[in-house]
Amino acid sequence: MNSFQQVSSLLPRRRWLMGAAALALPALPSWAQGGSAWPQKPIQLIVPWPAGGGTDLSIRVLAEEAGQRLGQTVVVINRPGAAGTMVAPLLKAATPDGYTIGQLPLPVLRHALMNKVPWDPLTDLSPILQVSGTTFGLLVPAQSPWQKVQDLLDWARAHPGELMLGSTGMGSTPHLAMEDLLGAQQIQYTHVPFKGTTDQMLALAAGTIMAGMNSTGFAPWVEQGKLRLLAVFSEQRSARWPQVPTMKELGFAQAVYHSPWGLVAPTGTPPAVLAQLHDAFKAAMFSPRHLSELQRYDQDASYLDSTAYRQMLVQSSLRERKLLQRMKLLAE
């Protein structure tokens, strides 16, 4: 057999080996195989709050701005309930290809510590970037006789269990903040959970509940004269409502609450896709239109890149664990 015949006899075997090796490799998306660039279809952005609230409205602007930069529509999908934690199981179940991402509120970390759940926000979710954060306020209807926080506390102490106070859900930051505050005062009250800001503000303005704590998504309701803001839970007074005291200056030193939020994707999303999402949403969050929308709700851009955002989530989880231990709410 000459050399040409020897080489020819090996070709079928080599082709078979190459074919077998190709079959053994995991399938790659078309863009990773040298096909068209990502993204090739609209991206779904899960928002775990009802439509119409401050966070929802600002995210819709953010999504539109990011979509222009990605060359594909970013569709906001509202999945309210469970104090804003529905995003975690939905993202864990989603294909990690970058076409399904979500807004991650702080209660997701807390919910995983308070309950036995089949997902872990620190391992099942990949941070994209931190976008902003919310502070909180204690509100009453405009027609309420309570002009200051002490009025509310004095009445509630004299009427155990009769104060009907709303929050954005069991385990939400407003809920735990009021549990912490009223518990320290040994005041009993009735907690009324809502799915989101809009539902709670409507009930509060109508007098269905007597008081409520919510994020600064309440701003339009206060400015329209439908609600009265008694105090804020931030470190400093709000530049928007400089006449409103902080809970801290009223003597409640521990009553400082801030809830940062960002965007995440399912773990396993390719790094190149995460990088594209990061770059598009970073540019979008600093667009004049988005910054203006944030200011409507007394919020600012609070950017962290993927690495720094992950570190913040880990640190926040540790702080939440300590708070829940103190309040005896940590899952066993």
Most distant CA atoms of the chain, gap in Å: 106
- How many whole angstroms separate alpha carbon 172 and alpha carbon 124? 21
Element (H, E) at 190: strand 190-193
In the prediction, which pLDDT does 23 show?
Answer: 38
Q: Can you give the pTM of this predicted structure? A: 0.75
Supply the Cα-derived Rg of the chain in whole angstroms.
Answer: 25
Given a cut of 60, is residue 3 above it in pLDDT? no
Question: For residue 149, what pLDDT band results from cuts at 50, 70 and 90?
Answer: very high
Helix (H, G, I), strand (E, B) or coil at 164: strand
- How many whole angstroms separate alpha carbon 238 and alpha carbon 223? 14
Question: For residue 36, what pLDDT band results from cuts at 50, 70 and 90?
Answer: low
Given a cut of 80, is residue 259 above it in pLDDT? yes
- In this structure, the strands spanning 100-104 and 227-232 are unpaired
Tens-digit pLDDT profile for residues 105-142: 988 998 999 999 999 999 999 999 999 988 899 999 99
- Smallest Cα–Cα separation from 221: which of 246, 203, 195? 203
In the prediction, which pLDDT does 35 show?
Answer: 45
Given a cut of 80, is residue 330 above it in pLDDT? yes
What's the mean pLDDT when you consider all of the chain? 87
Strands (E), 267-324: none
Tens-digit pLDDT profile for residues 134-147: 889 999 999 999 99
Tens-digit pLDDT profile for residues 39-80: 999 999 999 998 888 889 999 999 999 999 999 999 999 999
pLDDT above 90 covers what percent of the chain?
A: 64
Tens-digit pLDDT profile for residues 209-235: 999 999 878 888 999 999 999 999 988
Q: Which domains does the chain have, with CATH numbers?
A: 41-134+259-326 (3.40.190.150), 135-232 (3.40.190.10)
